[in-house]
Structure 1
Amino acid sequence: MSTDKHWEKWGKSSPYYGVVRLPEFRETGLSADARQHFFQSGELYVSGMFNVIHRHLNPAFRADRATDFGCGVGRLIMPLSRRARSAVGIDVSPSMLEEAARNVTQEGIGNIEFVRSDDGLTNLHGMFDLINSYIVFQHIPVERGMKLAEALLSHLSPNGIAVLHFTYDCNATRFAPTINWTRDHFAPAHWLANLARGRPVFEPTMQMNAYNVNRLLTLFRHCGIEKLHAEFTDHGAHGIQFFLLKAGAAE
């Protein structure tokens, strides 16, 4: 898949900027201040996520086993690991996973496993009390992303919680799939688009894809979700973060 190749290019050339697009994260070797800022933002995200879960879904929720889909360099899986017995980071980019492993070793964390993603999530085993994915699905073409979301939710334990983020409006038009295809398959078009936006000419593509909310809700019901809480997000594109509680096991 072309998006996988592009993500691996980000992993090799600018892994932190590929995760959070701020100028201070563009270089592979982050300054001490930039590194602190980067990982502190992950801690703030996870802390806020648990606050929302406790407030709206389950005040007593605790995660025994957690996973982060699209873990990148480990920004979110590391704070998740501090709140769970074990954690699994999953990403499609080998270079991202290698950088994440280095970060985990540097922090002395011993309860995280990293696995490479594929369309069937065949390397992800077992069930999880908590599944997270943030600012990831937006970079995956919709039909592929819907199948991945379904596969991911099949690993959610009864009474478990999934926190999944999707973009529903990224200024996409009905021509967006054609534009994405052209930039993916005709390099000069992508180079010109980068120049027009004031970006480095050979910077890899980072697709933005808008998901249909009705289709997502139908998928959640199909996957056994019995309760949800949703919050709007805006990070240059309009999105929704879904907090999903799966029904308990039948007695």
Structure 2
Amino acid sequence: MGRGAGGRGVTGSFRESELSRYDRQILLFGEEGQERLKAAKIFIAGAGGLGCPVALYLAAAGVGEIRLADCDAVDRTNLNRQVLHWEKDLGRRKTDSAAEKLRLLNPDVRVTDLPATINEANAAALVGDADLIIDALDNFETRYLLNRVALAKGIPFIHGAIRGFDGQATTIIPGKTACLRCIFPRAPPAEVFPAVGVTAGIIGMIQANEAIKFLLGMDGLLAGRLLIWSGATTEMESLPVERHPDCQDCGAARRER
């Protein structure tokens, strides 16, 4: 079983409206499980193609606090896949646009919108005391930075990425599984990549599912496994991944610096 909700105790009670909202989930994992979700704080890096479905489904599930970081504004080219942004939002900050929809969906969830560029100077502060970091980014340099923050703070890190009909996801548990740098020692070339909205939806929902399972303390995470999705052939597989002893982020090379 995972540590769940950062190891915090389960306290408090639900209003009748909450019990009604979460009725079908409570049938599955009980009020204690729902309390674990309510107690959780999630940091989502990116409010785009992956970040939108991740945030949408975690808010619907009743995760207590969602911290959403993104520096961009909504552009028309985003609208085929970034489902929290609509035509009326063109030109708005993505964090404002997404936070508005999430608050309308579930007023009981605290949404903190962070309109910031994630960098070396602010990454640790933006993550804060989150229970999970979710990678909904589109570039590896910032992913590597958040990987290092996750390792330093001991916070699990759920990676996701897409390109066209293809996608991937994994859950990184610091000190136990391969980190992002172990799996991808070098960043792929930067590019403007093709993107189909359904691919972002599928991978984003897999990431949200991993987050919920972790917070509930469930087994079966994508820890030590890289899930590969091909929408073109409707096939999915998972590949084992292992820690690299010389990894510059989590291995001997880091400890010697």
Structure-1-length-normalised TM-score: 0.39
Larger RCO (CA within 8 A; separation ≥ 6): 2
Larger strand proportion, structure 1 or 2? Answer: 1
Larger helix proportion, structure 1 or 2? Answer: 1
